[in-house]
Amino acid sequence: MKPNKLPLYELKIEDENQDEIFAISLVDTPAIELDFQFFGKEPIQFAAVSDEKRLIMGPILVPDKRILRIDGEGKPYEVFFTKETVRRLAEMYLEKKYTDKATIQHEKAIKGVKLVESWIVDNKFADKSMAYGFKVPLGAWMGVFRVDETKEGNKIWNDYVKTGKVKGFSIEGLFSHSLVKASLEELIWEKDINDLSEEEAEIFLGKIRALIKKDLRYKGGKKVEMESYSDYPQSVKDAARIAREQNEKVGGKCMTLVGKTRAADLEQGRPLSRETIARMVSYLSRAKDVYEQNKSDRLSCSYIAYKGWGGETALTWAQNKLEQINKMEAVNPSVTSTYPGEAAEDKKKKQK
């Protein structure tokens, strides 16, 4: 099989008690690259819910669509769902009564947004989604959400939907990963450098550049530094170790590639970039409520995944560390980095 430029993984349901979609988020950039349609106070023509108001309709999940993801080390990879998996995920979402589980921009849970209709496209020539300009493949999961006329619902409708701040749906869940294709990049690292082709050599050099940055405060850029931090407490390392051990007990099904990478880094006390710390704050903050509800069950995926990112102590440390870094950058803004490994730039020189 010809290798991908990026690793390709199929997302699967191996255990329906653990692998699932547990929320649907309203986002500005849907991973499936298809926006929803929204219907306001004006009369609408929609056969199934013709009397309803404040509806948003669009694709929730599209089968075989390759979706770009970034792991805990900033490395890209792609994932996809098969038609069979998409259908079962849609069924499970209703069976588990998750229809009111919604978030905004994957950041916080919101109330007043409910899934009121859900279907799988079985006939791409006659599906009702076509009336609203959607061209989705067979097996796509379509949904209609109603935004209630409550205080929070009004804010979501007026400040996000009508203004276009959110344009589509994005899922939140846990899934098992199955490698379909290895990446060209992974094969390159196994070769002798003298055996690399011109294209492979360029990829190799690009990865080296991404690992280091030249400090422009030193002439000739001779000093090489990594902007990273490893002063997190032992309890964070212990949480990551517990996550690894518990995940092994359940057959390794409770942690994504990103989660496994993060847990390994934390357990070994490896340094973390500013961007990784920011991702820790984002994930741990969003997943905290689900973790709190299930933390008594040490074999639950929500417990294991949360501990894999360092747990409660890691959230406190990451929030404080991010605040500290931001203050330092405010005092000395001449050297900045916008992603791990990017060469720092001297802003004062650029302004001259």
Report the DSSP beta bridge partners of residue 136: none
Ranking 73-77, 137-141, 261-265 by mean pLDDT, the lowest is 73-77
Q: Check whether 273 has a pLDDT greater than 50.
A: yes
**Strand pairing report for 20-27 and 168-174:** antiparallel
Determine the average pLDDT of the residues in 309-327.
89
Q: Check whether 8 has a pLDDT greater than 90.
A: no
In this prediction, residue 350 carries a pLDDT of 37
Over residues 150-165, the pLDDT tens digits come to: 999 999 998 998 888 8
DSSP assignment string, 190-231: TS-GGG--HHHHHHHHHHHHHH-EE-TTSGGG--EE---B--
Q: Check whether 244 has a pLDDT greater than 90.
A: yes
What is the percent of the chain with per-residue pLDDT over 70, rounded to a whole number? 70
Distance between CA atoms of 261 and 320, rounded to whole angstroms? 22
Please check whether residue 40 is in contact with residue 69, taking contact to mean a CB–CB distance below 8 angstroms: no
- Residues 60/66/72/74 CA torsion (nearest 10 deg): -130
Over residues 37-67, the pLDDT tens digits come to: 655 433 333 333 333 478 898 999 999 988 8
In this prediction, residue 266 carries a pLDDT of 94
Over residues 276-313, the pLDDT tens digits come to: 888 888 888 888 888 888 888 998 888 999 999 999 99
Greater model confidence, 76 or 120: 120
Determine the average pLDDT of the residues in 57-84.
83
Q: Check whether 341 has a pLDDT greater than 50.
A: no
Ranking 114-118, 174-178, 251-255, 326-330 by mean pLDDT, the lowest is 326-330
Over residues 82-137, the pLDDT tens digits come to: 999 999 999 999 999 999 999 998 878 899 999 999 999 998 788 988 888 888 89
Indicate if the alpha-carbon torsion angle 46, 106, 109, 303 is positive or negative: positive
- DSSP E strand boundaries for the chain: 8-12, 20-27, 37-39, 55-61, 67-70, 76-80, 102-104, 108-110, 113-120, 141-147, 168-174, 176-181, 213-214, 224-225, 335-336, 345-346
What is the percent of the chain with per-residue pLDDT over 90, rounded to a whole number? 29
In this prediction, residue 46 carries a pLDDT of 30
pLDDT mean across residues, the chain: 76
In this prediction, residue 252 carries a pLDDT of 84
A 10 A CB-CB count for 184 gives: 16
In this prediction, residue 132 carries a pLDDT of 81
Determine the average pLDDT of the residues in 243-256.
88
**pTM of the shown model:** 0.55
pLDDT band per the 50, 70, 90 thresholds, residue 202: low
In this prediction, residue 223 carries a pLDDT of 41
Greater model confidence, 69 or 186: 69
pLDDT band per the 50, 70, 90 thresholds, residue 201: low
